[in-house]
Structures are given as structure tokens and as C-alpha cells.
Amino acid sequence: MSYQIVVCAGIVPDPLQTLEPVSTPQGPALKNEAMLPAVLDPWAAHALYEANHLAKNMPGSKVYLVSLAPKAKLQQVLMTIAQKVSFELIALDGPSTGFTDSHDVAAALAAAIEAIPGLDKSRLLLFGGWESAARAAGATLSMTGERLGIREQFQGVDSLTVGSDGSFEIRERVEGGKHLVSQCSGAPAVLGWATGNLPEPPNSPQVGMQNMRTVMPALQKAKPAGVAVTQQYASVALPKQQRSTRIVRDVAAAEVARELAQWIRGAH
């Protein structure tokens, strides 16, 4: 058994940065966007690590990374990501501010995936983030799967186990800290990953050199995605900060917990 694993992953501003929307002639954008450091979307990064792990355990499998982002920013991010896992890049040049419509992004991603040479949908696994730091709610991934004709979709996935007959056992997050265990007969399928259960792979210069042979040509050939900035915003405000400190001594832990619970109830 071997699979063609396509990971949809965008780039987002580093989560430690303060983001401030501004209006431009082209529509909404982020203030000082060109100066903001970018990272691979955290949820999509987990999907990429899981894809790499699965491909290693299934000889003959291959991982594709499909990303819609500004080429210059994407190149910066890939300098780090390319040293962690092996993949073939399929790049689309377009905005990544989060002000694009998920429907348009899904259409562009699906078209790029359909154009992969030798694509075999009977072996296709579409991976991505359950949510996104830019386009949230898993809407883009699920619509991409629908456009590719994949009806078996799972969101909030924490683990994927392949059986000897090619079937999958998939654990999805549900309320109450529990998991829904599903059985799938096999590919094709869409999996929106939560955090997974694998650590971040270590950097490997050998993997990086191997990837960069294909990454740079893919970036040079990246075509405009044709995705416009269509979303608007009415107002933006930073969350209010509230700090109330009181220094006490010799107070029982139960009393401290009671006061904290009372304060939290009063704050809401």
C-alpha cells in the first residue's frame, strides 16, 4: 500500500506578533505586513509532520505540499520547514492575510491538486489543519475535498492507524475531552488534523538540500492564484487587560481556589 499525500498548508504571521488591520486601495491588509515574520500555519504543520510519518511507514508513498501564499514570504518559511520533512512543493502566488474567501481559496487549491502529474485519486489522502490561524474552522480544507470529489472527511483528527487490509482507524476530537473512533475502508479521504501525537521533527541538512532542489524551481514557476481580497471588517479592538494583584500569606489552597473561582464568575 502506498499513498499520494497532499498537505494543504498556508503561511501566517508569527503568533507572537500583534496584528492590526488597515485599509488599502486593494482592500483590507495587515499593518506592516511585509515586515511581519511568517511561519507555517501551526495546524497545517502538524498535518505535514503526520504525512511525513505515514509516508515513511508506507514505502512508495509521496508527500506534496500545496501552499497559496506570497512567493517571497513562502520562500523564507520553507528555508526552515524544508529541513524537517521531505516533500514536493506546489506553490500558488497569492495573498495570505486571511481576508480572502475560503471558497475561492479552495477552488485554487483543488485546481492545483488536479494538475499534479500522475495523480491517482484512489491513493489520495488530503491532509490539512482542522483549523487555521488565518482562515479558521476547517472550511477551506473541507471545500477543497468536495471539489476533488472526496466524501470521506474527518475533522479534529489526532491519530490515524492503517490496518493490514488498507483500512483506517481514525480518532477525532469531540466534546468532553473524548475521541470519536471511526473506521474508513481506505483512500481517498480528507483529514483535518488537530495537534496529532507526533513531535516536531528535528532539522536535517540532508533533507533540506534534497528539498531545495525542487522548492526553488517550484517557487519560480508559481502561478498567480487569482484569489482576490474580498472580506471586509467593521471595527477592530484589542482585548481589554485586567490585572488585580493581592499579596497574602498563610492562606489555605482551598481558600485561594474559592477566591479565584469567585473572581472568574464576577469577571464574566
Is there a domain that residue 190 lies in?
Answer: yes
Residues 6+ apart with CB under 8 A from 34: none
Is there a domain that residue 198 lies in?
Answer: yes
Give residue-wise pLDDT tens across range 43-77: 889 999 999 999 999 999 999 999 988 888 888 88
Instruction: Look at phi and psi of residue 77 and say left if phi exceeds 0, alpha if psi is from -120 to 50, else beta.
Output: alpha
Is the confidence at residue 87, as pLDDT, over 70? yes
Is the confidence at residue 137, as pLDDT, over 80? no
Q: What is the distance, to the nearest Å, from the Cα of residue 64 to the centroid of all Cα atoms in its chain?
A: 14
Is there a domain that residue 174 lies in?
Answer: yes
For the chain, the straight-line distance linking the first and the last C-alpha, in angstroms and rounded, comes to 53
Is there a domain that residue 150 lies in?
Answer: yes
**Full domain range(s) for residue 51:** 4-224
Cα–Cα distance, 24 to 6 (Å, whole number): 34
Tell me if the pTM is above 0.85: no
- Residue 66 near residue 9 (C-beta atoms within 8 A): yes
Average pLDDT score over residue span 197-221: 86
- The pLDDT of residue 247 is 81
- The pLDDT of residue 49 is 92
Could you tell me the pLDDT band of residue 170, with boundaries at 50, 70 and 90?
A: very high
Is there a domain that residue 266 lies in?
Answer: no
Q: What is the distance, to the nearest Å, from the Cα of residue 47 to the centroid of all Cα atoms in its chain?
A: 7
Is there a domain that residue 265 lies in?
Answer: no
Q: Residue 85 carries which DSSP code? A: S
CATH of the domain at 18: 3.40.50.620
Is there a domain that residue 258 lies in?
Answer: no
Measuring CA to CA, which residue among 154, 149, 98 is closest to residue 129? Answer: 154
The number of distinct structural domains making up the chain is 1
- The pLDDT of residue 150 is 93
Give residue-wise pLDDT tens across range 240-268: 776 777 788 888 989 989 988 988 887 65
**Residue 245 corresponds to which amino acid?**
T
Could you tell me the pLDDT band of residue 138, with boundaries at 50, 70 and 90?
A: low
Is there a domain that residue 182 lies in?
Answer: yes
Give residue-wise pLDDT tens across range 141-154: 899 999 999 999 99
Higher-pLDDT residue of 100, 39: 39
